[in-house]
């Protein structure tokens, strides 16, 4: 019941903020190394690198780049790494020298974590946060930001959050089975 309410609240927030979003065209990104299959979920995972600039991209642009990629006819999305087996797969198979975005973000106004597929992330769910959960002083409550994107640190392979304007060149992509690869806008027709 709580998860359903949280999902509905998040969908309402996304609909409210959609007109405020700045849409940038997805520029080129490429997969780095092999794509790896995760049998329990039926998804393929990969590490991608943004080719547009040396400074990297923000979480929202990483989402767009991930959605522009495809593998074996499956559209990409920022990876939903919501259990220990997916975490171990990412940790053991993909090496990155800089932080890498994935499909989780913290919405400031409702104070909630949500996956790119609009599923809420609850406190009791799998998580591997750094002891210092945020990267800098740019965070909810201190800065005027809507959300904080979550990324993997390259040295510890743990999660940390950064303000919506932070840029990294790497991001994890998931190519989920088609029925699981839901729209990130809240509109199933998109």
Mean pLDDT of 15-28: 44
Residue 2 has a pLDDT of 52
- Report whether 157 contacts 114 (CB < 8 A): no
Residue 28 has a pLDDT of 86
Lowest mean pLDDT among 21-30, 46-55, 57-66, 98-107: 21-30
Closest Cα to residue 182, out of 67, 104, 52, 70? 67
Does residue 146 surpass a pLDDT of 60? yes
- Report whether 102 contacts 77 (CB < 8 A): no
Strands (E), 126-169: 129-134, 147-152, 159-163
User: Vertex 187, ends 182 and 38: CA angle to 5°?
Assistant: 5
Residue 69 has a pLDDT of 96
Residue 138 has a pLDDT of 63
Phi (first) and psi of residue 155, to 5 degrees: -85, -40
Per-residue confidence band for 179, with pLDDT thresholds at 50, 70 and 90: confident
Residue 14 has a pLDDT of 44
Mean pLDDT of 179-185: 54
Give this prediction's pTM: 0.80
Q: Environment class of residue 100 by beta-carbon count within 10 Å: exposed (0-12), middle (13-18) or buried (19+)?
A: buried
Domain boundaries, the chain: 2-8+29-177
Does residue 22 surpass a pLDDT of 90? no
CATH architecture of residue range(s) 2-8+29-177: Roll (3.10)
Residue 181 has a pLDDT of 56
Distance in angstroms (rounded) separating the CA atoms of residues 103 and 56: 16
β-bridge partners, 23 = none
């Amino acid at each position: 019941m709580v998860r359903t309410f949280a999902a509905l609240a998040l969908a309402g927030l996304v609909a409210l903020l959609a007109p405020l979003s700045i849409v940038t065209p997805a520029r080129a990104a490429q997969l780095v190394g092999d794509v790896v299959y995760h049998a329990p979920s039926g998804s393929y995972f990969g590490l991608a690198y943004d080719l547009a600039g040396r400074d990297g991209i923000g979480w929202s642009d990483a989402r767009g780049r991930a959605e522009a990629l495809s593998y074996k006819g499956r559209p990409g999305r920022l990876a939903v790494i919501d259990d220990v087996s997916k975490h171990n797969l990412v940790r053991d198979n993909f090496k990155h020298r800089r932080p890498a975005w994935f499909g989780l973000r913290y919405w400031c106004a409702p104070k909630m974590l949500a996956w790119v597929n609009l599923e809420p992330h609850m406190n009791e769910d799998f998580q591997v946060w750094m002891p210092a959960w945020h990267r800098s002083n740019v965070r909810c409550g201190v800065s005027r930001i809507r959300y904080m994107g979550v990324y993997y640190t390259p040295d510890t392979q743990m999660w940390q959050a950064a303000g919506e304007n932070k840029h990294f060149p790497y991001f994890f992509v998931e190519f989920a089975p088609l029925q699981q690869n839901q729209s990130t806008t809240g509109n199933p027709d998109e």
